[in-house]
Amino acid sequence: MNRRDEDEFREFVSARLDPLRRTAYLLCRDWHLADDLVSITVGRLYRHWRRVRAADNVDAYVRGVLTHAWLDERRRPWRRERSSDELPDRPDVRAAESPVADRELLWELLGRLAPRRRAVVVLRFYCDLSVEQTAEILGVNTGTVKSQAARALEQLRLLAGNELATEYGRRT
Amino acid sequence: MTYREILDEAVGTPPPPSVDLDRIIGQETRRARRRRAGAYGLSAVAVLTVATGASVLVTPGVPDTGPVIASSGASAAQPAEIRNAMLAAIERAAPDLRWLPGAEQENDMARWSGPAVAEPSWPVSPFSHESASGWIGNGVAVRGDVRARLSMEVSRSKAGQSPEPSDCPEYARACETSPGPNGERVRVVEWEARYRPPGQPTIRAGHRRVDVLRPDGTQVHVDTMSRTEQFLLTAAEMTAVALDPALTLP
């Protein structure tokens, strides 16, 4: 990589470092590991910079690299966290008494999602990627993305406000 | 509020980044240089082989494509030594713990059943991240009515990497930091965790972690996640385990 490319690369990464770290943290729930994943991602982007630059949607490409870095990490024999496909029927409303509790509840909810479903949530609702882009990154069909997103959305919707407000009168 | 805003709020304020762009670019530049050198070397061997007609078995010399990782204590230690040290630390702090054989492989806490035995079921594995490496062990322990996953990590940051943050995160249920007796930094954190036993309402599960950072850079993390509201170990017991001087890396 020549100096001009490297300067361009630095500028590109610097501009995206914070959102990349946040995305990684949403996926793995551990800042230490999140920074590891971002470092791995940045290394891979550097290695394939010309291909990255030529991508139709550079940000979708970058998030794909990050997601794969995390999924690779998940395949390792040890785990820093455990998750399951089981979602609670509904959030524990007693805990939802403040914005902090909402955040904790969402955090707990995200932690309970299986890795690929969590990736769907993060890519669709946090990174604003399309169903097609999400499907391409995860190597699944669009129907799978839609169904997984719908189930997760149902849970997130409770946190977004209206249903809790109606049922428990907490919000106005 | 949009989903993105909700998720952003869930992330909270990030700690200072440990992503070192200069180091990554340096690693990748060296890696590319080695790969080129390896390719040239292979070409030279191939030319020489053809020229001399010699039957030579050539093992490709292309370097590992993974990131360059500084050497760490993980590779030098023996799993049995680490395992013994972990279990001895637990035994000293909580000699009455019993164990569920094989339950550590079961993620569904509802399935942690069967009789508890005195012999620990405690597999230990090495790990290596970009920023740290070490050993992790875990098992499902029983104490009275409490069944909980107990896990322990002993690690050290790699060259140029900072240790994990040891401040109290604002989203913790409770958190306390204190100095250890030998210059360690100790953090005791209770996390928000919920568990829904089969057919029962969701409960707040006992999830506590103790992090110790020693002056020599060794990090010890002890973590318990119960399937009840009660904790498996007291904060003092967990701190005693994490501060155990036998938990070292070479």
If one counts every other C-beta atom within 10 angstroms of the C-beta of residue A157, the result is 13
Q: Which residue has the higher pLDDT, B197 or A38?
A: A38
Q: Which residue of chain B has the CA closest to A160?
A: B1
Distance CA B248, CA B250 (A): 7
pLDDT at residue B147 is higher than 90: yes
Provide the H-helix boundaries in B3-144.
3-11, 21-52, 73-76, 79-93
pLDDT at residue A42 is higher than 90: yes
Q: Which of A102, A142, A137 is nearest to A119 (CA)?
A: A137
A104 neighbourhood in chain B, CB within 8 Å: 171, 173, 192
The answer, yes or no, to whether ipTM is higher than 0.85 is no
With tokens 């990736």, the residue in question is A119
Tell me which amino acid residue B120 is: P
Angstroms from B150 CA to nearest CA on chain A:
12
If one counts every other C-beta atom within 10 angstroms of the C-beta of residue A5, the result is 13
pLDDT digits (tens, 9 = 90+) for B188-205: 988 877 777 777 777 778
Architecture of domain A1-80: Orthogonal Bundle (1.10)
Give the up-direction half-sphere exposure of residue A10: CA atoms within 13 A in the CB hemisphere: 13
Model-wide pTM > 0.90 = no
Parse chain A into domains and list their residue ranges. 1-80, 82-172
Residues 6+ apart with CB under 8 A from B77: B135, B249, B250
Answer whether B69's CB lies under 8 Å from B130's CB: yes
Residues 6+ apart with CB under 8 A from B205: B193, B194, B195, B225, B226, B227, B228, B229
Tell me if B125 and A78 make a contact (CB, 8 A cut-off): yes
What are B185's strand-pairing partners? B179, B213
Q: Which residue of chain A has the CA closest to B152?
A: A80
Provide the H-helix boundaries in chain A.
3-28, 31-47, 49-53, 58-74, 99-112, 115-121, 131-138, 142-160, 162-168
Tell me if B165 and A31 make a contact (CB, 8 A cut-off): yes
Q: Choose the CATH number for A82-172 among 3.30.70.330, 1.10.1060.10, 3.40.50.970, 1.10.10.10.
A: 1.10.10.10
Distance CA B184, CA B103 (A): 33
Q: Which residue of chain B has the CA closest to A102?
A: B10
Nearest to A26 among B7, B20, B32 (CB): B7
Q: Which residue has the higher pLDDT, B65 or B194?
A: B194
State the pLDDT at residue B65.
31
Distance CA B105, CA B166 (A): 29
